[in-house]
A and B are shown apart, each in its own frame.
Chain A
Amino acid sequence: DTAVSQTPKYLVTQMGNDKSIKCEQNLGHDTMYWYKQDSKKFLKIMFSYNNKELIINETVPNRFSPKSPDKAHLNLHINSLELGDSAVYFCASSQGPRTGELFFGEGSRLTVL
């Protein structure tokens, strides 16, 4: 039973298209995150939600829009995809101050052609 699950795992699409990545966690955590891992493997925080409320919104193009329908789900929608959006996107959840540990999904590899 996967703790943090993302779909799809792989996504290949053309420039200019719109795509979404879904994330669900069954750990009962209040906080969820989206990270982007670039081609050099660097992991950078994009967004964070706590109980459906946006608490972190790093410098990300507004083509990226997160949505949290409830605290177990955090989806990422990307409009007008560009070549530079090609990356692996990780969803994660956290217990917050209790341990600080993040639990990661398996990642979604997005390739923009």
Chain B
Amino acid sequence: AQTVTQSQPEMSVQEAETVTLSCTYDTSESNYYLFWYKQPPSRQMILVIRQEAYKQQNATENRFSVNFQKAAKSFSLKISDSQLGDTAMYFCASTNSNSGYALNFGKGTSLLVTP
């Protein structure tokens, strides 16, 4: 079974600053996907960024980037130039074929962006 661990229940960052959210995972599969999802107060689940395990290059999406360390099974999310709208719960998740591509989620990190 896959497990995903987010060790930071809450974090805070000032507007325009950079923040990094940590995530580690455990899997015996060789091919899998990793994700960061954002859940703002509206409770909608929004995909932030996706990484395929076989790709060595770290994924980036505008102000969001990941540091994917496959050997260490680490998948951290960096948010640059933080904006008030980034305030949300952030969930790290993994999936693979053995799980029927169901996402296994970490417990989440609540991020507060302050003015």
Contacts and interface: CB of A to CB of B under 8 A. Distances in A.
A102 interface: yes
B105 interface: yes
Q: Of residues B89, B95, B102, which shows the largest number of chain A Cβ atoms within 10 Å of its Cβ?
A: B102
B95 A107 contact: no
Contacts of A43: 91, 103, 105
A9 to B, nearest CB: 10
Interface residues of A, number: 26
Where chain B touches its partner, the secondary structure class is mixed
Contacts, number: 59
Contacts of A41: 39, 89, 107-108
A43 B107 CA distance: 8
A7 interface: no
A42 B47 contact: no
B97 A48 contact: no
Nearest to B102: A45
Contacts of B107: 40-42
A101 B35 contact: yes
A104 B44 contact: yes
12 contacts: A31-B100, A31-B101, A42-B108, A45-B102, A56-B99, A92-B45, A99-B33, A99-B50, A100-B101, A101-B35, A101-B50, A107-B44
Given A42-B105, A102-B95, 4 more contacts: A43-B91, A99-B33, A100-B33, A107-B43
Interface of A: 31, 33, 40-45, 48, 50, 55-56, 88, 90, 92, 94, 96-97, 99-102, 104, 106-107, 109
Pick the 5 closest A-B CB pairs, nearest first.
Answer: A100-B33, A104-B45, A43-B105, A45-B102, A55-B100
